[in-house]
Every structure is written in C-alpha cells, then in structure tokens.
C-alpha cells in the first residue's frame, strides 16, 4: 500500500526542475552560444544560440525561448544564419519575442511584464532568455528579479554582473528603463 502511494505521488509530481529557485548564475562552458550562457535556476540567460544549440536546448526540455533581439537583427542572416521562430515552431516550442534596444523598442517596465508573463506561462519549466551576447538579457534578468522576485537592485545587479551585465559599453543603462516607474497622469486643474 505504501509503495502504491509513493508511486502515485511520483507519477503526478511536477518535473524535478519545476519551480526551481533562483540561484546565483553559473556560466556554462559552451561554445554554441555567442559570448555566454549561464544557468540562473529557472532560466538560462544567454547570447544568441546557434541553431544546433537551440535544437539541443529544446530536446533537453526547454519549452519556452524568450528573444530580446530586434526584428532587424533577427532578419540579418549574417548575424543569425537561420530563422529562429521557424525552427522553434517546427520543434513545437514556445517562441516569445520581446524586442529591445531599437529606436522603436525601448527598455520599459512593460517589457519586463511581458518576459515575466512568458516565464509564468512556462509553468515551472526552465526557459531560455537570450539576446546577442547576453547583455540585454542580463539587464532584463536583473529587472525581473527586482520586480517579480523581491530582490534589491544591488542583489539583482550582482546576479546580472555574473552573466554579462557590463558586457556591452553602449550608452545608457537598460536596467534603469526597465525599472522606471509608470508615469502618473497629470493632475486636473
């Protein structure tokens, strides 16, 4: 009887990686991602995966891929020599595109909300959050940790710095825009 109860509990239990707690990012020794890939617990934070890496991640159980690159970047076959969305559709994985960093795709709190929604929709399965070299993804991960996981900005920065937070010396700090307070309506006179 006891064995039957244990067997039934195991049969209906969530996958081992479900609801995995956030951990301090650990860089993985892989060369099939541009710049870096890090395991942060419920998510892998990475630069652009090769097509083989993407296929391998899905085969390994990743069901949701969140891409922060702009559409012009993704359409440039010198930068990304395959159609990421089409490959993921073929594999039956969920593709979420939250483009950031272009003139029409600013770093906003709404982008953090979209990423959080995609992570939540993954129902405890690990996700892959990526951009080109994990710089935007590091900033997004930090904003997600602050807004949705209760981290202080300093704690979240430490996690992001372990990935590639300062890896691209472009102007501005995306984290500031991602955490920006929503503007309040003007007071009526």
Q: What is the pLDDT of residues 7-29, one digit of tens each?
A: 333 333 334 344 679 999 999 99
- Can you give the pLDDT at residue 85? 97
Structure tokens at 157: 């920065």
What confidence score (pLDDT) does residue 160 get? 96
Six token digits for residue 93 = 């994985």
47 against 167, higher pLDDT? 47
Residue 46 neighbours by CB under 8 Å, 6+ apart: 33, 36, 37, 38, 128, 129, 130, 134, 137
To the nearest whole number, what is the mean pLDDT of the chain? 87
Mean pLDDT of all residues in 79-107: 95
Phi/psi-derived region of residue 62, left when phi > 0, alpha when psi is between -120 and 50, beta in every other case: beta
Residue 185 covered by a domain = no
Q: Give the chain's domain count.
A: 1
CATH of the domain at 26: 3.90.190.10
Q: How confident is the model at residue 166 (pLDDT cuts 50, 70, 90)?
A: confident
pLDDT band at 167 (very low <50, low <70, confident <90, very high): low
**What are 34's two structure tokens?**
């541009």
Residue 111 is encoded by which pair of tokens?
């982008």
Task: Work out the percent of the chain whose per-residue pLDDT is above 70.
Answer: 82
In the β-sheet with 26-27, what is the strand arrangement from edge to edge?
26-27, 37-39, 43-46, 127-130, 64-67, 94-97
Distance CA 82, CA 100 (A): 20
In a domain, 145, yes or no: yes
Percent of the chain exceeding pLDDT 90 equals 77
pLDDT exceeds cutoff 90 at 149? yes
pLDDT of residue 8: 39
Domain that holds residue 24: 19-179
């Amino acid at each position: 009887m006891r064995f039957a109860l244990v067997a039934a509990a195991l049969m209906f239990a969530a996958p081992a990686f479900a609801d995995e707690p956030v951990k301090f990012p650990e860089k993985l020794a892989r060369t099939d991602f541009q710049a870096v890939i890090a395991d942060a617990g419920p998510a892998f934070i990475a630069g652009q995966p090769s097509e083989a890496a993407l296929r391998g991640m899905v085969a390994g159980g990743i069901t949701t891929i969140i891409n922060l690159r702009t559409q012009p970047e993704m359409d440039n076959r010198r930068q990304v020599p395959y159609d990421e969305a089409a490959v993921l559709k073929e594999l039956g994985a969920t593709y979420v595109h939250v483009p950031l960093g272009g003139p029409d795709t600013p770093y906003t709190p709404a982008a953090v909300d979209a990423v959080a929604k995609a992570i939540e929709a993954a129902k405890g399965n690990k996700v892959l959050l990526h951009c080109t070299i994990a710089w935007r993804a590091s900033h997004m991960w930090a904003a997600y940790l602050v807004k949705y996981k209760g981290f202080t900005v300093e704690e979240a920065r430490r996690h992001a710095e372990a990935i590639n937070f300062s890896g691209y010396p472009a102007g501005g700090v995306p984290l500031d825009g991602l955490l920006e307070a929503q503007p309040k309506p003007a007071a009526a006179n």
